[in-house]
Structure 1
Amino acid sequence: MNAIASQRDRFAIPREVHYLNCAYMAPLSHDVVAAMEEAARLKASPWNFEPADFFSVCERFRERAARLAGVAADTIAIVPSVSYALAVAAKNLTMSAGQNIVTLADQFPSNVYVWRELAARRGGNVVTVERPSQTCWSDAVLDAIGPDTAIVAVPHCHWADGRVVDLEAVGEKCREVGTALVLDLTQSLGAMPIDFSRVQPDFAVAACYKWLMGPYGIGMLYVDPKHYNGEPLEYNWINRGGSEDFARLVDYRDDFQPGARRFDMGERSNPPLLMGASAGLDFLLEFGVEHIAETLGEHTQAIADEAENAGLTSAAIGTRAPHFLSLGFPEGVPDGLTERLAAANVHVSVRGSSLRVTPHLYNDEIDRAALIAAIAS
């Protein structure tokens, strides 16, 4: 399969800017901006926004999100953030006193605080897994799962170093011991394949503003069908059965919209966010996640090869996600490195003890050359 050609012309990135920082925040494509502007104009004329539109804009997003993940649309809830989604998961999973929750060391805070609070409230513990040097996380996570594990809450790849967790192996181990599995896929969904039918998570969330190429303030939550009768985080009107009939909203009902829709956030029918996020998903669906992952793997490997010639180290693809490159310096990351790189119009991030480089389809060999030249200088 040939690499996807650079899509730079579909983004408002000046030629002199070398943005290799998608793990921080994706730039919005022209199509996403246009969709959000169209939606804002729709809201500027609310007489044209009919009751049916409250539902159709949601279902278009839900269908695209489901198609990208390879799951049924009924399994997708619309959420504003990862923390909201994980609060839904925590509310609907059981944990007894003395049990534990497994997380990764230095995991992103949104996927830590909720579990600390749940463990404290239920009289349990959070087990923080440490990664052996220069390896992926899989063996350490698998070793930590046992009969006393209530929940495993992990990402597909670590947000700082990109090293992976074998989710299929973890999912199998969770099922063997009766442990719930909750995933934060914000740093992987859309850039790295995942087979939900093989992993079988209870809940899995991804914010749209990174690898899903959409706006801030919206995300998708996968809910396994066995939790369809669970308790939502909030009780809003639109998630209830029959809410399509605005004339009968005060005929209060106890039933919910089907599937995962009961977990949708309040005021979900926000056209600028939904239509913008849908356009971002359309961009990814145009190429397919596997093709994107292969192309981004070629980008990061090319950078890794050139960085090695400059004396920097990195993990091999397989140990790390294909779209994530973490560069190590022999004597540690120099002070003020990202500021000096930004002054040269090269934009990356420092996370932990490494330089995090995360390109996307808007990058090309000119961006890679600029990064290496700026580091060398």
Structure 2
Amino acid sequence: MDCQKHLFSLPDNHHYINCSYLAPLPKTVEEAGIRGIRQKNRPWETAPEDFFTDSNRLRVLFAQLINAKRSADIAIMPSVSYGLATAAQNIDSSKGNTVIIAGEQFPSNVYAWKRFCNEHDCKLQIIEAPPLSEGRGRQWNKHILKAINSNTLLVALGNVHWTDGTLFDVEEIGKRIRKNDGYFVIDGTQSVGALPIDVQNVRPDALICAGYKWLMGPYSMALGYFSSRLQEGQPLEEGWIVRKNSEDFSGLIDYKEAYQPGAKRFDVGERSNFILVPMMIEALKLILEWNPKNIQQYCKKLTTNFIQELKTFGYQVEDPAWRGHHMFGIRLPKKIDMDNLNNRLINRNIHLSLRGSSLRISPNVYNEKKDIDALLDVLTDIDI
């Protein structure tokens, strides 16, 4: 695919290589939000069916992206932490006594399981990254797989690590945990939209994704896939719209015990957000048009020579078989002064994330060769 920068409002004098932090809004997504704001000035034009139409359309698009069988498997939520709390509330704690997570995982996917373990007398087992410069990703995966046994209740992780893009073999992990009748919950925030995932192959019990990174959508919007194993569970809140026959406004006082089918019961209250939902729809339409497979190839083409050049200067990058092309960490030579490096990046308007002794590089389809060249100039023109 070709560079898609023309679809964004990014200035030419800035090099934004930081989608893992916050994606810029495509122009069509921005315009959808503006239309939603203006619509609130004409409330008489919002019909009862409008509370359902766009929400259902959004489910269809996300289901298509992750290859869910039914759009009803998708819940609309405000955040990943909301989705993880929903999953945690509906796990049968009698199936095991150990919860496995990866070391230095993003906090939202740690605190939920710390609380769960405290409330259900489970052990939280953290599998740290091995201290290796070569073969780190491969060994980390081996350690996670080895840890899964008959006592394992749950494995919860991202399919890439949020700090450096390390890939986790979610298909193999899913197979191992299913053999023990445990649960598998994935935070897809740093991958879904830029890295292909098929829930029919991976078979997670839940896959939760924030919308404001690789899905190119607005903040405070998340989407969650829930398997049939969890779909009879209890939602975090009792919103009117998730009850059966809520489409009939005249019958809302005929209170129903039954919920809407599938994962819709887990929707957040006011899920029909007339600003954020249309924005998320436009974002997913773009992602599906580009195709995550093509996005991976675009990022690979953009960064392959860059990485090879960096290695000649002593920088370390994970083997491509065990990292994403859309997001990866560059481990710096020890002699580099981080403050000096950060100042140089700021002076060149290069935007990325510093994580300890490494840089997190996360390009997307709006980046072009000159963005990567500017970063290479800084990294190869600093005292090592």
Q: TM-score range by the shorter chain?
A: over 0.9
Please, which moves more after superposition, 92-101 or 363-372? 92-101
Cα deviation, residue 340, structure 1: 3.1
Q: Is the 8 A contact 1:97 1:124 kept in 2?
A: no
The 5 Å alignment of 1:274-285 reads 274-285=277-288
2:23 paired residue number: 26
Q: Is the 8 A contact 1:338 1:348 kept in 2?
A: no
Distance of 2:174 and 2:313 partners within structure 1: 39
1:204 aligns with 2:204: no
1:43 aligns with 2:46: no
Query: Match for 1:91 among 62, 85, 89?
Result: 89
- Which string of whole-angstrom CA distances, capped at 9 and with x for unpartnered residues, describes residues 43-102 of structure 1? 221111111000011111111111111112111000100000000000000224971100
Change (3 A) 1:288 1:252: same
Runs of 4 or more consecutive aligned structure 1 residues displaced over 4 Å after TM superposition: none
Distance of 2:223 and 2:342 partners within structure 1: 31
2:346 paired residue number: 342
Change (3 A) 1:332 1:129: farther
Q: Is the 8 A contact 1:152 1:181 kept in 2?
A: yes
1:104 aligns with 2:102: yes
The 5 Å alignment of 1:208-357 reads 208-331=211-334, 334-336=337-339, 337-357=341-361
Amino acid at match of 1:355: L
Change (3 A) 1:97 1:242: closer
Instruction: Determine helix, strand or coil for the equivalent of 2:241.
Output: coil
Instruction: Determine helix, strand or coil for the equivalent of 2:321.
Output: coil
Change (3 A) 1:102 1:357: same
Distance of 2:170 and 2:52 partners within structure 1: 33
1:5 aligns with 2:23: no
Q: TM-score, normalised by structure 2?
A: 0.95
Amino acid at match of 1:110: S
Distance of 1:266 and 1:306 partners within structure 2: 50
Distance of 2:159 and 2:357 partners within structure 1: 20
Identity %: 38
Distance of 1:111 and 1:323 partners within structure 2: 21
Instruction: Determine helix, strand or coil for the equivalent of 1:243.
Output: coil
Q: Is the 8 A contact 2:166 2:328 kept in 1?
A: no
Distance of 2:338 and 2:375 partners within structure 1: 17
The 5 Å alignment of 1:114-263 reads 114-132=112-130, 133=132, 134=134, 135-136=136-137, 137-263=140-266
Amino acid at match of 2:101: T
Please, which moves more after superposition, 169-178 or 42-51? 42-51
Cα deviation, residue 303, structure 1: 2.5
Cα deviation, residue 318, structure 1: 1.2
- Which string of whole-angstrom CA distances, capped at 9 and with x for unpartnered residues, describes residues 300-339 of structure 1? 3232123223332211211111211211111166322334
Amino acid at match of 2:63: A
Q: What's the C-alpha RMSD, in Å, of the aligned pairs?
A: 1.4
Distance of 1:116 and 1:325 partners within structure 2: 27
Distance of 2:220 and 2:303 partners within structure 1: 28
Q: How many residues align?
A: 374
Distance of 1:278 and 1:46 partners within structure 2: 21
Amino acid at match of 2:315: L
Q: TM-score, normalised by structure 1?
A: 0.96
Q: Is the 8 A contact 1:332 1:354 kept in 2?
A: no
Cα deviation, residue 341, structure 1: 0.6
1:70 paired residue number: 67
Q: Which runs of 5 or more residues in structure 2 are unaligned?
A: none
Amino acid at match of 1:354: S
Distance of 2:197 and 2:358 partners within structure 1: 26
Distance of 1:86 and 1:332 partners within structure 2: 40
Query: Match for 2:371 among 353, 367, 375?
Result: 367
- Which string of whole-angstrom CA distances, capped at 9 and with x for unpartnered residues, describes residues 11-41 of structure 1? 1111010000000010001011011111111
Please, which moves more after superposition, 79-88 or 331-340? 331-340
